[in-house]
Amino acid sequence: MEQQFDTSKIGMWLFLATEILLFGGLFVGFGMMQARYQREFVEAHHHLKRLLGATNTVVLLFSSWTMVMAVHSAKNNNRKKLQIFLLITILCACAFLVVKYFEYTADFSEGLFPAKWYHHFGDNIPGSRGYATFFSFYFMMTGLHGIHIVVGIALLSWLWVKAGKGEYSSSYYTPVDLVGLYWHIVDMIWIYLFPLYYLIT
């Protein structure tokens, strides 16, 4: 059993490495475009809602902690706490998406769209593709991250149901541990997304 657990964990880490490369490629692309359209990118940063971004950072960090506590509870045969912590994690993930919804709505109402749909008024460098490029990257990366959050909610709900049936104990909690790793990498990606998009001004 110990060996099975270790093997599935290695498999999960291999998957996480591909996640790092997936988002890493987008981050490199973003960096290249930032170097190319420096002034437009710095200005476009100002349109993002820094406080909403910070709120989401705190929500995700807290959910990461509840997740690690869920894994800890499963390890120690505490089914009740496992369910409670999983539920808090799911609620945090939903809260993240709600904040994201309000943010996107506010962006859209200002005409901040990706690519050719971008039509924000009064930019300092008129007609520049830099702004549109920035928002293409912004919606692509936060959108992909949002999809990861949705997948995370599905996985966590599945864990919650199974935990309710008492399937996890100190002798078997592999799914809880692996979903935990997934949830932490989603948090880690946001740790980089937040300063790069919201804080560079």
**Least distance CB 77 / another protein (angstroms):** 8
**Least distance CB 155 / another protein (angstroms):** 16
CA-wise closest residue to 184 among 89, 75, 54, 73: 89
Name the residue nearer to another protein (CB basis): 116 or 165: 116
Name the residue nearer to another protein (CB basis): 160 or 198: 198
Which residues are within 8 A (CB) of 92 and not within 5 positions of it... i.e. 6 or more apart? Answer: 59, 60, 62, 63, 66
DSSP state of 46: T
Which of 98, 101, 110, 115 is in the footprint of another protein by CB under 8 A? Answer: 115
**Least distance CB 190 / another protein (angstroms):** 10
Cα separation, 28 vs 159, whole angstroms: 34
Binding letters toward another protein, positions 31-70, x by CB under 8 A: xx--xx-------------x---x--xx--xx-xx-xxx-
Query: Tokens at residue 197, please?
Result: 């998009």
Which of 8, 26, 49, 78 is in the footprint of another protein by CB under 8 A? Answer: 78
Query: Tokens at residue 182, please?
Result: 């997934």
Other Cβ atoms less than 10 A from the Cβ of 144: the count is 14
Which residues are within 8 A (CB) of 76 and not within 5 positions of it... i.e. 6 or more apart? Answer: 170
Cα separation, 89 vs 182, whole angstroms: 13
Is 199 among the residues that bind another protein (CB under 8 A)? yes
Q: Kindly determine how many residues on this chain lie close enough to bind another protein according to the rule CB under 8 A.
A: 64
Which of 52, 95, 140, 181 is in the footprint of another protein by CB under 8 A? Answer: 181
Is 24 among the residues that bind another protein (CB under 8 A)? yes
Element of type H or E holding 173: none
Cα separation, 165 vs 190, whole angstroms: 32
Query: Tokens at residue 148, please?
Result: 């990861």
Is 128 among the residues that bind another protein (CB under 8 A)? yes
**Least distance CB 153 / another protein (angstroms):** 19
Query: Tokens at residue 61, please?
Result: 């960090």
Residues of this chain that bind another protein (CB under 8 A): 6, 9-10, 13-14, 16-18, 20-21, 24-25, 28, 31-32, 35-36, 50, 54, 57-58, 61-62, 64-65, 67-69, 72-73, 75-78, 81, 115-116, 118-119, 121-122, 125-129, 131-132, 170, 180-181, 184-185, 187-188, 191-192, 194-196, 198-201
